[in-house]
Structure 1
Amino acid sequence: MQGRLDHTTAPAVQKFVLEVLATSPWAVVLDLRALTDLAPDAVPALVELAYVAGDADIGLYLVTTDPVVAHVLAAASVHRLFEIHPDIDSALRTMGQPQ
């Protein structure tokens, strides 16, 4: 993802990721490093993705180095729904480890 994730862009991202989740992958990595902003009004879309992935027993990993992303998720009290990693390699390493 890149640019601003807000109430106008989140539905398209959500639709795409839901389509990916519907194929029953083992895991999905959302690379948020190119986001310029995560608006609080986009958080419900991410939360739905976390619940859909969890219900389907699919790992959902967020990749970001921007502390704003973690802050926005924490402010909405949903940060514990997500595994946040600084890079894709870190997310991939975690995928193979028992939780």
Structure 2
Amino acid sequence: MTMGTMGLTDLNDLTDLTVTAGPATLSGLALDLPALLLDEEFGQSKVWRFEDFDFPATLTHEPTRRFLRDMGLPEEHALFQLDTDIPLPTLAEYYA
């Protein structure tokens, strides 16, 4: 398996890598993903990339903000559906 051809189903295979690699990633997150992974899996028009004004004030973790700006999130997934007409809610707001 090469990183360039990895699919989302292959992410489970990377669990061992995150344990051995630890937090020393280029992004500052637990796992670095290939730049176009979400575009390849969901289609470029189906991935929403956020802007600074979309973030709640409490989201201060810069690696997370950078991930959401650069990588984005799929607009629709089995676990969630983004409402792109409103700023990104916190988990507490989402579940309220």
TM-score where L is the length of structure 2: 0.31
Larger radius of gyration: 2
**Which is richer in strand?**
1
Indicate the structure whose relative CO is greater, using CA pairs within 8 Å and at least 6 residues apart.
Answer: 1
